[in-house]
Amino acid sequence: MHIVVCIKQVPDTTNVRINPKTNTLEREGVESIINPFDTYAIEEGVRIRERLGEGKVTVLSMGPPQAEAALREAISLGADEAVLLCSRAFAGGDTWSTSLVLALAIKKLGPDLVLAGKQAIDGDTAQVGPGISYHLDWPQACYVSKIREIGKGQAVVESLLENGKEVLAVELPAVLTVVKEINEPRLPSLKGKMRAKKAVITTWNETDIGADPELVGLKGSPTTVARVFSPSRRGAGEMIKAESASEVARLVVAKIKELKIV
Ligand SMILES: Cc1cc2nc3c(=O)[nH]c(=O)nc-3n(C[C@H](O)[C@H](O)[C@H](O)COP(=O)(O)OP(=O)(O)OC[C@H]3O[C@@H](n4cnc5c(N)ncnc54)[C@H](O)[C@@H]3O)c2cc1C
């Protein structure tokens, strides 16, 4: 079984800096990590290979040249091969064009299963996994917390819901996005670190995956981030107390009028 795991390199920080001109993330000089949810996807891919006793795990990332570091780390965590999708044509892409680029590369790799994280901690949209399955017209299951069975062209998975879980049978090839409840990622082994150091990372651009430059990156993005800003902190608020509920209601209405909220 050939498993492709999509991983995103993200800033290792909560106070992201936004470039005021381009409204995109400042990545220069910011420590980067593998998106936390993707470490569970890598682990799950390796566990399936171990469970089946055969197969290959390829990690795939679209990003700037420095994203190679995230791919090497993924190899130290047990992945076999790595592909970096890197080109100016891919820059500034929204989730539609990001998932298209990944889908075209996945089509070229031809796997039986695609694993992705539930969401990325910077863009936070959780749209890329479903977007990949849309572009490939493959089945998908999201918020997967357990892969019960896998093989013979099908996977049986548990998908987390707000108030429980559902069990789905998914025909392969398919796209699964995973949550952190699915496993406990292992630490990199010494052997893994050495393999990562020597590993040859394949790099593809738009020509290698047959992408039309007009349909990817900022050019191919139906959405653009108009403005990114931190919402202003709200004040503590005021507690309105009175003898009776009708008196509280009267005071609230007076306050609303005073503040000209309506
Ligand atoms: C603050 C901010 C807000 C944004 N808001 C929007 C928005 O509202 N709409 C929009 O279309 N775009 C938005 N973007 C752009 C968006 O971040 C990028 O399109 C990004 O490449 C994918 O979206 P995401 O980060 O939300 O990923 P998600 O959809 O949350 O990622 C889910 C999973 O997909 C995989 N994945 C995601 N990106 C990659 C990658 N580059 N390489 C490999 N695997 C990947 C990973 O497995 C990840 O766990 C925003 C970016 C920022 C920084």
Among residues 208, 215, 8, 257, the alpha carbon closest in space to that of 108 is found at: 208
On the question of pLDDT at 244 being above 90, the answer is yes
- Report which of residues 58 and 19 the model is more confident about: 58
Instruction: Report pLDDT for 24.
Output: 62
For 159-215, how does the pLDDT look when each residue is reduced to its tens digit (9 = 90+)?
Answer: 999 999 999 999 999 999 999 999 999 999 999 999 999 999 999 999 999 999 999
What is the DSSP annotation of 125-167? ---HHHHHHHHHT--EEEEEEEEEEEETTEEEEEEEETTEEEE
Kindly list the distances between the CA atom of residue 116 and the CA atoms of 119, 172, 191, 237, in Å, as whole numbers in the listed order: 8, 15, 25, 41
**For residue 115, how far is its CA from the centre of ligand 1 (angstroms)?**
15
Residues 6+ apart with CB under 8 A from 38: 5, 6, 7, 8, 116, 117
**CA-closest residue to ligand 1 atom 22:** 95
What pLDDT band is residue 231 in, cutting at 50, 70 and 90? confident
pLDDT score recorded for residue 27: 62
The count of domains in the chain is 1
Q: Does the CA dihedral 49-177-97-61 come out positive or negative?
A: negative
Residue 125 Cα: closest atom of ligand 1: 26
With a 6 A CB cut-off, is 45 part of the ligand 1 pocket? no
Render pLDDT for 51-90 as a digit per residue (tens, 0 to 9).
999 999 999 999 999 999 999 999 999 999 999 999 999 9
Entry pTM: 0.88
**Domain region containing 65:** 2-215
CA 247 to chain centre: 50
User: What is the distance between the alpha carbons of residues 90 and 103, in angstroms, rounded to a whole number?
Assistant: 13
Domain contains 221: no
Q: What is the pLDDT of residue 40?
A: 98
For ligand 1, whether the C-beta of 123 sits within 6 Å is yes
pLDDT in tens, 128-160: 999 999 999 999 999 999 999 999 899 999 999
Q: Confirm or reject: Cβ of 140 under 6 Å from ligand 1.
A: no
How far is it, in rounded angstroms, from Cα 105 to Cα 94? Answer: 17
Does ligand 1 lie within 6 Å of residue 9's CB atom?
A: no
In a domain, residue 241? The reply is no
Predicted confidence at residue 243, as pLDDT, reads 93
The answer to whether residue 226 is domain-embedded is no
Q: pLDDT: is 28 or 105 the higher one?
A: 105
Distance CA(104)–CA(78), nearest Å, equals 24
Span from the CA of 196 to the centroid of ligand 1 (angstroms): 26
Q: How far, in Å, from the CA of 35 to the mean position of ligand 1?
A: 11
Three-class SS of residue 8?
Answer: coil
Q: Is 129 in the pocket of ligand 1 (CB under 6 A)?
A: yes
Q: Is the CB of 52 under 6 A from ligand 1?
A: no
Q: Whose CA is nearest to atom 43 of ligand 1?
A: 61
pLDDT tens, position by position, 246-260: 999 999 999 889 888
> 27 or 229: which carries more pLDDT confidence?
229
Mean pLDDT of 241-248: 94
Does 147 reside within a domain? Answer: yes
Which CATH number covers residue 160? 3.40.50.620
Q: Is residue 100 part of a domain?
A: yes
For a ligand 1 pocket test, name from 3, 225, 230 the mutation site with the most ligand atoms within 8 angstroms of its C-beta.
225
Q: Can you tell me the distance from the alpha carbon of 3 to that of 111, in angstroms, rounded to the nearest whole number?
A: 6
Give a yes or no: residue 33 inside a domain. yes
CA 114–ligand 1 middle distance (angstroms): 17
Residue 225 pLDDT greater than 80, yes or no: no
Q: Which of 125, 134, 216, 218 to mutate to test the pocket of ligand 1 (most atoms within 8 A of CB)?
A: 125
Q: Of the residues 128, 176, 204, 227, which should be mutated to test ligand 1's pocket, given the most ligand atoms within 8 Å of the CB?
A: 128
